[in-house]
Amino acid sequence: MLTKIENLSEYFLAYEKSIANPETFWERVANQFFWRKKWDRVVDYDFEKAEVKWFENAKLNITENMLERHLYTIGDKPAIIWEPNDPKEAGITLTYQQLFEKVCEFSNVLLNNGVKKGDRVIIYMPMIPEAAIAMMACARVGAVHSVVFAGFSSSALADRIINCEAKVVLTSDGNFRGAKSIPVKAVVDEALEKCTTIEKVIVVERTKTEVTMQAGRDLWWHEETAKAEKTHKAEVMDSEDMLFILYTSGSTGQPKGVVHTTGGYMVYTQFSFQNVFQYNSDDVYWCTADVGWITGHSYIVYGPLLAGATTVMFEGVPTYPDAGRFWEIIDKYQVNQFYTAPTAIRALQAYGLDPVLPYKLDSLKVLGSVGEPINEEAWHWYHDHIGKGKCPIVDTWWQTETGGIMISPLAGLTPTKPAYATLPLPGIRPVIVDAEGNELKGNGVEGNLCINFPWPSMIRTTYGDHQRCIDTYFSTYKGMYFTGDGVRRDEDGYYRIMGRVDDVINVSGHRMGTAEVENAINEHPLVVESAVVGYPHDIKGQGIYAYVICDAEGRTEGSLKEEIKATVNKIIGPIAKPDKIQLVTGLPKTRSGKIMRRILRKVAENDTSSLGDTSTLLNPEVVEEIIKGAQ
């Protein structure tokens, strides 16, 4: 592989070259792909306008690079190994050749159902091979996919469908999750009551749950594929054509649709996958994320398949049928690279070593972590008991907006340090700024993390609202992309991510806007006002703490809290349900009416020793009440 970095000095050299001459660097990486037409210019950008173009005027189809490009050399190699929820059910292995045929077949299904280049297609599916096939088929016909995590409620799904004016929904009858079977199609039906743009719903039969099929709108996946032609010629796309939209939470308003385009995303996801995980051609790689999140997009589907890797896809949960499931799967498929989230590690650590001991885990070479800061205790447990002290841990920092891993060790090459994401990948230029936007140079500094030069897989816009993209990412600090994270660069120049500096909380690696949760709570008819903050949680990293003013109307405190949780569950989904609710008579406000979240955070963290001066508040008396009633 031309652009695989193989030792630490090669990394430093590659980094230096990528900074000194980004165009030459990325051109060299891009040359290993199959382009219908090459670019006129490698990169062009204007951060003030949030305009970024990579591989301008180049033509390609990303799926030709994931499928056709590999067929002659590794057509018989497993591309996807699918492990079902129930270990007694047989798994499925699709070779590159078989995956190619399935993607072609489903591309024809999309065309037969009126999907055209540029149309938006929603994928609301469990972790089954069809989800990956659906994503690739969309990309192949030039449609823009938007995967919505199947744990989101009908109302959250409807918001996303409406925002991107989707034409088709791809879904399943149900979803096996541990001992439960969750209706999925029924959630889609409920969402569609509010949507006017959906013409077709194509349903995979997975759980055999009874579903209602609306004539003229709803179709079965297996019936449509049976009718479809088996060959398909990929649509020729421009490098900057939209590949997908993925909704993510911010500090204000509704989730925004982060837009990624084709050429740059392709180049960067393969490059980062190969280098961070140091994937070798016969390795088996497994990322436990869900395809509903960016990690599933870039490092279950696109990155690994572009690199010709074998990628494992798991339908179930880490604790079913018992807390040894992950380790059993690693032994079963002889997984070499394993990529998961700190919250999963902490949850499994809580079961002790008994579930780990029956397994050898000797195939493992690399362990990965993503989604939130990994605490030292979890890092050591992962390193000692899963990696048996011999596997480097790649603590990968990145975001939905960055499309790919930005700061991370290269496995086995970069010396690691617990809880440090270490060094930037080639092409990535992190800068640390203080609150005024002054760059903090040198080592031993802490501040806000920005990136001051474009990279190929970066966000291009927020769907339907470019101004929001400018305001959110490019306005806080002039001429820079602002990540929303705090960071420390230590004496060795290593980066340690300190967590969000905005009103975003990270619950079990899921990003949540406090405003979004507040809006959901406020939908309860008796709620007058609410304020949500994060607090440290042993397993989830952060938990959701809600302060709520409401009119009890004869209800008990317990039943009110349950109703509030149910409201959030209905509006967003179970992942946003508050862990703690405190009913209050007022919220601490400044004289201009702004909620003093700092105080609420301190109380939630059970640290009331340093609340600062509260006398300037509009209502200082509520602080005492809030402290007394803290959960």
Binding site for ligand PRX (CB under 6 A): 248, 294-295, 369-373, 395-400, 421, 483-485, 497, 499-500, 506, 511
Strand duo 310-314 + 284-287: pairing: parallel
Measured from the CB atom, the residue of 239 and 288 that comes closer to ligand PRX is: 288
Amino acid symbol at 135: M
Closest approach, Cβ 602 to ligand PRX, in A, equals 21
How far apart CA 437 and CA 448 sit, in angstroms, is 9
For 364, the token pair is 């493992």
Closest approach, Cβ 333 to ligand PRX, in A, equals 24
Measured from the CB atom, the residue of 107 and 506 that comes closer to ligand PRX is: 506
Cα-based distances in Å from 352 to 277, 324, 347, 348, 368: 27, 10, 10, 7, 20
Closest approach, Cβ 165 to ligand PRX, in A, equals 24
Biggest CA–CA distance in the chain, Å, is 74
- Cβ-Cβ contacts under 8 Å for 59 (sequence gap 6 or more): 35, 36, 37, 236, 237, 238, 239
Closest approach, Cβ 46 to ligand PRX, in A, equals 24
- Tell me which DSSP letter residue 595 carries: B
Measured from the CB atom, the residue of 347 and 406 that comes closer to ligand PRX is: 406
Measured from the CB atom, the residue of 321 and 499 that comes closer to ligand PRX is: 499
Handedness of CA 431, 432, 438, 444 (dihedral sign): negative
CB–CB of 337/391 below 8 Å? no
Amino acid symbol at 302: Y
Closest approach, Cβ 404 to ligand PRX, in A, equals 9
Measured from the CB atom, the residue of 195 and 306 that comes closer to ligand PRX is: 306
Closest approach, Cβ 486 to ligand PRX, in A, equals 9
Instruction: Round the CA-based radius of gyration of the chain to a whole number and report it.
Output: 24
Measured from the CB atom, the residue of 397 and 463 that comes closer to ligand PRX is: 397
Measured from the CB atom, the residue of 184 and 449 that comes closer to ligand PRX is: 449
**CB-based closest residue to ligand PRX:** 400
- Phi and psi at 432, nearest 5°, equal -110, 130
CB–CB of 406/451 below 8 Å? yes
Closest approach, Cβ 295 to ligand PRX, in A, equals 5
Closest approach, Cβ 456 to ligand PRX, in A, equals 16
Measured from the CB atom, the residue of 315 and 401 that comes closer to ligand PRX is: 401
Closest approach, Cβ 337 to ligand PRX, in A, equals 16
How far apart CA 43 and CA 298 sit, in angstroms, is 21
Amino acid symbol at 622: V
Closest approach, Cβ 424 to ligand PRX, in A, equals 13
DSSP reduced 3-state for 609: coil
Measured from the CB atom, the residue of 25 and 149 that comes closer to ligand PRX is: 149
Measured from the CB atom, the residue of 195 and 370 that comes closer to ligand PRX is: 370
Measured from the CB atom, the residue of 29 and 258 that comes closer to ligand PRX is: 258
Measured from the CB atom, the residue of 500 and 577 that comes closer to ligand PRX is: 500
Closest approach, Cβ 246 to ligand PRX, in A, equals 9
For 79, the token pair is 């591309």
Strand duo 430-433 + 310-314: pairing: unpaired
How many Cα neighbours within 13 Å face the side chain of 553? Answer: 9
Measured from the CB atom, the residue of 274 and 400 that comes closer to ligand PRX is: 400
- Which among 516, 513, 492, 490 is positioned nearest to 503, based on CA atoms? 513
DSSP reduced 3-state for 435: coil
Closest approach, Cβ 422 to ligand PRX, in A, equals 10
b (16+ CB within 10 A) / e for 498-535: bbbbbbbbbbbbbbbbbbbbbbbbbebeebebbbbbbb
Strand duo 242-248 + 256-261: pairing: antiparallel
How far apart CA 145 and CA 434 sit, in angstroms, is 38
b (16+ CB within 10 A) / e for 542-562: bbbbbbbbbeeeeeeeeebbe
Beta partners for residue 446, in sequence order: 488
Measured from the CB atom, the residue of 39 and 293 that comes closer to ligand PRX is: 293
Measured from the CB atom, the residue of 65 and 295 that comes closer to ligand PRX is: 295
Closest approach, Cβ 510 to ligand PRX, in A, equals 7
For 526, the token pair is 């008796």
b (16+ CB within 10 A) / e for 420-438: bbbbbbbbbbbbbbeeebe
- Tell me which DSSP letter residue 486 carries: E
Closest approach, Cβ 421 to ligand PRX, in A, equals 5
Closest approach, Cβ 374 to ligand PRX, in A, equals 7
CB–CB of 167/197 below 8 Å? yes
- Tell me which DSSP letter residue 576 carries: G
- Which among 539, 513, 543, 488 is positioned nearest to 400, based on CA atoms? 513
